[in-house]
Amino acid sequence: MLREDYEKLWDELNKAEKILLIGHRKPDGDALGAMCAMKIWLDGMGKEVKLACSDKPTRKYDFLPFIDEFNTKISPESHDLVIILDCGAHYMTDFHNVYPEILSFNNFDQKPFIVNIDHHASNDNFGHLNIVDQNSASATMILYDIFKYLDVFITPDMATCLIAGIYNDTGGFMHSNTSFEVYSVSAELLKNGAKVSGIIKSLFRTNTVSTLRLWGKVLEDAKISDQNYIYSVVTENDLKKTGSSDQISGAIDYLNMVPGVDFALLLQEERGHVKGSLRTRREDLDLSEIAKLYGGGGHPKAAGFSMKRNGV
């Protein structure tokens, strides 16, 4: 079925002149890598391509091409085609609140045509065309498969973008989704000229003092519940005190290192909402099912949700 979807994508790309690429809020290496790789490809096809996320990418992704060209305001109706990448549900772009008539769930009368490319089990198939493979380790792995099927030449910059996404979503090849296929694709991308050392340094070996202060606060406040999960809470006041931006995503990986607990939970107060991140090392837990209880989703070992603060 995916191959038929790839053919349909190719047809839509050939018909379109103006294309908008959208990633999820607080974009990570997978969303940004997929978008930047796709922009290189589409630029080469002579398309007019714009990049958009509701939040600007952080400086840790400066190694990616076009990283300064991301827009936080969009006009989807002025494009022939919208491609949404790495969004586990329709609301993950955050643009659906501003453009409900364009980016709303299952509004199949909407224009322009929307393509949904994703790998999360929680994906609600919100596009006209849904290229969703929950068995894939990352959105960039799906994009690599698309490129190979369509016989797209992968440039060194494209290879760097793709392997950045793989490296991000496998936790530096340490998560359980690091399969033989992941290593095989990564090896091919290295052959194509991917620059890995800069990715490792930027994503896992670089942090600001303010971020380290915030992580310290997270670890200092960590507790193990009576239900045997470890948790910590970050308030907006904590962000102000540490002088940090809200880049706390790496902290939960340290919480998840504690032996014997079932899973790790990190709660963050954010603009009138509470964002929850979940991680586990257990094979018999599906955190996406827990996240669904609060309107979220994700993967069995890594999931998340967001809810209004007054609902807690």
Confidence of residue 311 (pLDDT cuts 50, 70, 90): very low
Q: Check which CATH number belongs to the domain holding 102 and give it.
A: 3.90.1640.10
Do 187 and 275 lie in a common domain? no
Query: Is the bond preceding residue 112 a cis peptide, omega within 30 degrees?
Result: yes
pTM reported for the whole predicted model: 0.86
Checking 2-11 for CB contacts under 8 A at 24+ apart, the result is: 2/131, 2/133, 2/145, 3/149, 5/129, 5/130, 5/131, 6/131, 6/145, 6/146, 6/149, 6/150, 8/129, 9/115, 9/129, 9/131, 9/146, 10/150
Whether residue 164 is found in the same domain as residue 230 = no
Please check whether residues 139 and 255 belong to one and the same domain.
no
Regarding whether 71 and 219 lie in a shared domain, the answer is no
Residue 312 has pLDDT above 50, yes or no: no
CATH number at residue 251: 3.10.310.30
Residue type, 291: A
Tell me the mean pLDDT in the region 263-280: 89
Decide if pLDDT at 1 tops 60: no
Q: Is there a contact between 269 and 236 (Cβ–Cβ < 8 Å)?
A: yes
Question: Which residue, 200, 223, 240, sits at the end of a domain?
Answer: 200
Confidence of residue 308 (pLDDT cuts 50, 70, 90): confident
The range of the structural domain enclosing residue 27 comes to 2-200
Assess contact for 192 and 156: CB atoms under 8 A. Answer: yes
Q: Of 200, 229, 263, which closes a domain?
A: 200
Does 233 share its domain with 109?
A: no
Q: Across residues 267-272, what is the average pLDDT?
A: 83
216 and 169, same structural domain? no
**Same domain, yes or no: 257 and 182:** no
The count of other CB atoms within 10 Å of the CB of residue 243 is 12
Total structural domains in the chain?
A: 2
Do 153 and 228 lie in a common domain?
Answer: no
Cα gap 297→287, rounded to integer Å: 8
**Could you tell me if 30 and 137 lie in one domain?**
yes
Residue 246 reports pLDDT greater than 60: no
Residue 266 has pLDDT above 80, yes or no: yes
Q: Which of 18-32, 82-96, 249-263, 292-306 has the highest mean pLDDT?
A: 18-32
Q: Which of 200, 224, 239 is the last residue of a domain?
A: 200
Residue of higher predicted confidence among 75 and 250: 75
What per-residue confidence (pLDDT) applies to 185?
Answer: 98
Of 108-112, 161-165, 234-238, minimum mean pLDDT range: 108-112
Q: What is the pLDDT of residues 122-167, one digit of tens each?
A: 898 999 999 999 999 999 999 999 999 999 999 999 999 999 999 9
pLDDT score, position 92: 87
Mean pLDDT of 168-181: 90
pLDDT, residue 250, reads 80
Same domain for 107 and 183, yes or no, is: yes
